[in-house]
């Protein structure tokens, strides 16, 4: 699995806003959109393209277009926290389709409980971009990626705002993802499975406490 940490000053500024406990809920959502756009932009670097002929106001030239719908990645936000990344992803890839996987962390086992899955039964090799702000234990990401593998997905890229080294290794060892794009790999997980220093609970900070 290829791991890419996005090293860009604008991404770092947005991440700082997300980490700051004094950031308001509206500002948190705005910073998440900004950072997600940077991450999806980087995750899209290897998308399939083709050359087309166009005419500018002063003459003909060659241009680039993205591939057909089946070659665009299916965007799969992991609910609920991943919803905050979806608008930014669609701003970068407006023609992309979307599927949803709803997972809730079991606070005793730290593993995901599934409550929604709208991924098509057969993706026929279509690439997928999984959107999930936090890669902590990686339980949710691995479950989502395995579900996508079972649906015959093509290359799977997991896009996260923050990652823990334990989660990166678990995702890598699972063999379910082809690439992982993140803004930071933080220090470690604490005793209740939260990323340190992290940013707290991304879902709660966007939408309020359950």
pLDDT at 70: 61
Output the average pLDDT for the chain. 91
**Is the backbone peptide bond immediately before 82 cis, with ω within 30 degrees of 0?**
no
- pLDDT of 87 strictly over 90: yes
In this prediction the pTM is 0.89
- pLDDT tens digit sequence for 34-59: 999 999 999 999 888 889 999 999 99
Question: What distance, in Å, lies between the first and last C-alpha atoms of the chain?
Answer: 34
* pLDDT value for 22: 95
How far apart are alpha carbons 21 and 147 in whole angstroms? 34
The radius of gyration of the chain from alpha carbons, rounded to an integer in Å, stands at 17
**Sign for the pseudo-dihedral over CA of 75, 80, 82, 85:** positive
Backbone angles phi, psi at 111, to 5 degrees: -105, 160
Phi and psi for 46 in degrees, rounded to 5? -105, 20
Residue 209's pLDDT band (boundaries 50, 70, 90)? Answer: confident
Look at residue 117 in the predicted model and tell me its pLDDT. 81
Burial of residue 88 (number of CB atoms within 10 Å: 0-12, 13-18, 19+): buried
pLDDT of 210 above 70: no
Q: Residues 14-35: pLDDT tens digits? A: 999 999 999 999 999 999 999 9
Region 75-80 average pLDDT: 92
Q: How confident is the model at residue 71 (pLDDT cuts 50, 70, 90)?
A: confident
User: To 5 degrees, how large is the angle CA 118–CA 122–CA 126?
Assistant: 95
Is residue 66 exposed (0-12), middle (13-18) or buried (19+ Cβ within 10 Å)?
A: middle
Q: What's the pLDDT tens digit per position in 123-182?
A: 999 999 999 999 999 988 999 999 999 999 999 999 999 999 999 999 999 999 999 999
pLDDT band at 105 (very low <50, low <70, confident <90, very high): low
Buried b vs exposed e over 135-162: b needs ≥16 C-beta within 10 Å?
Answer: bbbbbbbbbbbebbbebebbebbbbbbb
The more confident residue out of 114 and 169 is 169
Give the domains, in start order, of the chain with CATH numbers.
2-207 (3.40.50.2020)
């Amino acid at each position: 699995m290829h791991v890419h940490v996005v090293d860009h000053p604008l991404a770092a500024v947005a991440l700082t806003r997300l980490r700051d406990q004094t950031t308001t809920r509206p500002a948190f959502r705005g910073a998440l959109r900004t950072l997600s756009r940077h991450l999806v932009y980087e995750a899209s670097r290897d998308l399939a393209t083709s050359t087309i002929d166009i005419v500018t106001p002063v003459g003909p030239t060659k241009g680039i277009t993205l591939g057909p719908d089946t070659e665009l990645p299916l965007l799969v936000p992991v609910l609920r926290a991943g919803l905050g990344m979806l608008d930014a992803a669609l701003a970068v890839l407006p023609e992309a389709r979307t599927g949803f996987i709803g997972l809730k962390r079991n606070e005793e086992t730290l593993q995901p409980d599934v409550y929604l899955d709208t991924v098509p039964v057969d993706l026929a090799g279509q690439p997928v971009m999984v959107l999930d702000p936090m890669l902590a234990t990686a339980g949710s990401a691995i479950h989502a990626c395995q579900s996508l593998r079972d649906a015959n997905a093509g290359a799977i890229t997991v896009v996260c705002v923050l990652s823990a080294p334990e989660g990166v290794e678990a995702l890598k060892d699972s063999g379910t993802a082809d690439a992982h794009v993140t803004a930071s790999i933080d220090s470690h997980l604490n005793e209740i499975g939260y990323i340190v220093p992290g940013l707290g609970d991304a879902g709660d900070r966007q939408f309020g406490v359950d």
